[in-house]
Amino acid sequence: MVFGAMIIMSSLVSCSGDKDKPDAYGTFEATEITVSSQANGRIMWLSIEEGQVVDSGKLVGLVDTLDLSLKKAQAREQQLATSARKGDIESQIAVQEQNKENILIEKDRVGKLLKDGAGTKKQMDDITASLNLIDKQIASIRSQYTSLDAQIRTFDKQVAQLDNTISDARIVNPIKGTILTKFAEANEITTFGKPVYKIADLSAMQLRVYVSGAQLPYIKTGQQVEVRFDKDEKTNNKISGIVSWISQTAEFTPKTIQTKEERVNLVYAVKVIVKNDGTLKIGMPGEIKLLESK
């Protein structure tokens, strides 16, 4: 959404007189994000301070990953040891293949003897049985390849999971904004889901106000309105804002909000977005004046 440029009026106007009376009252707010730890352990370092503006994607802290790194190294060593067993299997197969060659030579010799009447059928049967046995042994040894490959893939998955967990130990700032509250310090022990700090983008604030049902037809999303906030006890600063959201359901006026209607009346919540040059603060009271005549 393209916001109108912030205009801070040079003249400060008193709020006296019905003509200049605001149409709705409320407070400024911002979308606050609580950044939590995604890992368990000691916070090695945390480079943020309250009030600091931090860019999106910046690495601001790190939870201890030594134990995870050791587990990753162990998984890699086990993977290498498993891969090395393939060499042993190949050697076993080579031995059996050589035995098979020897038996085939013997089979040819016995076949010739049998043809000349010098050999016996039992000799040929014994050799055939030996060949069948060796084929089964070779097949059994080869099947170990599949098991080893499965183990190696399992170690790959373990390493990938550990890499992901190590990555989660990095505390990365999600949005560009101002640090509102810091909940943790370096060298403290943290756990998964424990808040580390709270951040909000204060460059654009939202003024949540409440309008009556009678006012509702005169306000719509995308509409430009005049936003006011206190300069001193008698005068206001004025800036432009854009209506970004209007509630579809009515509610009772919050007790903390003062409007020209009685509090028992049903009202509709409205959000107005305004640019912030650093003057506006979360919780600061504000009001709006509709620029279109009613």
Domain 13-30+202-290 -> CATH class: mainly beta
| CATH code 2.40.50.100 for 38-63+170-192 | yes
Radius of gyration over every alpha carbon of the chain, rounded to an integer in angstroms = 39
SS3 165: helix
The pLDDT of 88-108, averaged and rounded, is 84
Spans of all domains in the chain: 13-30+202-290, 38-63+170-192, 66-166
SS3 168: helix
Q: State the pLDDT confidence band at 79, using cuts at 50, 70 and 90.
A: confident
The pLDDT of 22-38, averaged and rounded, is 94
CA distance 285 to 253: 15
Q: State the pLDDT confidence band at 213, using cuts at 50, 70 and 90.
A: confident
Q: What is the pLDDT of residue 251?
A: 83
CA distance 127 to 139: 18
**What are the residues facing 268 on neighbouring strands?**
211
The pLDDT of 5-23, averaged and rounded, is 48
CA distance 231 to 241: 17
Q: How far is Cα of residue 102 from the mean position of the Cα atoms in its chain?
A: 63
Lowest-pLDDT range of 25-39, 142-156, 159-173, 222-236: 142-156
Confirm if 253 and 267 have CB atoms less than 8 A apart: yes
Q: State the pLDDT confidence band at 128, using cuts at 50, 70 and 90.
A: confident
249-276 confidence digits (pLDDT tens)? 888 766 555 555 555 578 899 999 999 9
Task: Examine domains 13-30+202-290 and 38-63+170-192 and report if their fold is the same.
Answer: no
